Amino acid sequence: GVLMTCPMSDYLEREIEKRFKLLKQWHHSSFPEFLKSNSNSIRAVVGNATIGADAEMIGSLPKLEIVASYSVGLDKIDLRKCKEKGIRVTNTPDVLTDNVADLAIALALAVFRRICECDRFVKNGKWKQSEYPLSTQFSGKTVGILGLGRIGTAVAKRAEAFNCSICYYSRTEKQDSNYKYYPSVVALASNCHVLIIACPLTPETHHIVNHEVIDALGPKGVLINIGRGPHVDERELVSALLEGRLGGAGLDVFENEPNVPDELLGLENVVLVPHIGSATVETRKAMADLVIENLVAHFQGKPLLTPLF
Ligand code: 8YV
């Protein structure tokens, strides 16, 4: 049997049901009870960025062989426990890269050009009373990217087309990159107009954007987060925005999704979207297909398509 942790895709559910016995965790109000009677039949878990597979779940599934995540981020999976028990892990890289990078640029443009505010202005009939105030140019700004992996590189490529200078922070300098490297996040934030978070969430990157980084970005700086909510110390972000110590923010992810701090809801220089980085028809289908192909490959004893290990 394949255990799905939460609703993520009807298409994926149907495709799993065609090939395996599908068990839906959210259909069982008492999950511990459910596990007791089904734990020996579950050989695969399909999780996502909301509910993955934690140590407790892994520990209670003795026949578990593979965790296939419907996400590129693996922060909700206890990777150490999986490795220890010889459980394989797959994710969905590449197929979502363009969508997430598109969204990062869209959020930056929306904040700089005040697109959402302008939309409200027209829809509320205010255009007839006054002209809209000027916004700020995005083209040519310096874009700082936190994490120059698949998504960070795709963001950089797009920003280059806007004549932006690109700089980045990562643990080590990339030898094959011409972008300017800063060895610390504070140095990166001090030297860019827009800071875009595009790294995986790990214990090392938790709250990597803290008070100091936000102040380094400064009252004209803009923060874009298409990574994970806990990359940012959200209390600090809220205070900085309320006090005008940060220019603006475009946020796809939050520390306690789907809860968004109330203070952000009234701020015009903040654009908020509900974790939609990969949420297009095209990409979500490709992600589901990749999950299926990994499961099929595993149970046929063939090489996995996108293994972490
Ligand atoms: C998804 C994501 O929103 O890939 C990731 O890491 O955060 C997203 O693509 C999610 O896993 C879909 O349910």
**Number of structural domains in the chain:** 2
Q: Is 278 in the pocket of ligand 1 (CB under 6 A)?
A: yes
Task: State whether 106 and 155 are in the same domain.
Answer: yes
Per the structure, the complete domain to which residue 288 belongs is given by: 2-93+280-299
Q: Is 275 a catalytic residue?
A: yes
Q: Where are the alpha helices (DSSP H) in the chain?
A: 10-19, 31-38, 55-59, 79-84, 97-112, 115-123, 150-161, 185-190, 211-217, 234-242, 262-265, 281-299
Does the global pTM surpass 0.90?
A: yes
* Residue 228 falls in the annotated catalytic set: yes
Centre of ligand 1 to C-alpha 92, Å, is: 9
Does 124 share its domain with 264?
A: yes
Whether residue 43 is found in the same domain as residue 163: no
Establish if 39 belongs to a structural domain: yes
Q: Say if residue 252 is in the same domain as residue 172.
A: yes
CATH number assigned to the domain comprising residue 178: 3.40.50.720
Q: How far is CA 267 from the centre of its chain?
A: 22
Task: Tell me: do 139 and 251 sit in the same domain.
Answer: yes
Same domain, 73 and 106: no
Active site residue 150: no
Digits of tens for pLDDT over the chain (309 positions)? 999 999 999 999 999 999 999 999 999 888 778 887 889 999 999 999 999 999 999 999 999 999 999 999 999 999 999 999 999 999 999 999 999 999 999 999 999 999 999 999 999 999 999 999 999 999 999 999 999 999 999 999 999 999 999 999 999 999 999 999 999 999 999 999 999 999 999 999 999 999 999 999 999 999 999 999 999 999 999 999 999 999 999 999 999 999 999 999 999 999 999 999 999 999 999 999 999 999 999 999 999 999 999
* 133, 186 Cβ separation under 8 angstroms: no
- My answer on whether 141 and 243 are in the same domain is yes
Interface ipTM: 0.97
Question: Is there an atom of ligand 1 within 6 Å of 49 CB?
Answer: yes
Q: Is 228 left (phi over 0), alpha (psi -120 to 50) or beta?
A: beta
In Å, how far from its chain's centre is CA 30?
30
Same domain, 185 and 146: yes
Same domain, 233 and 172: yes
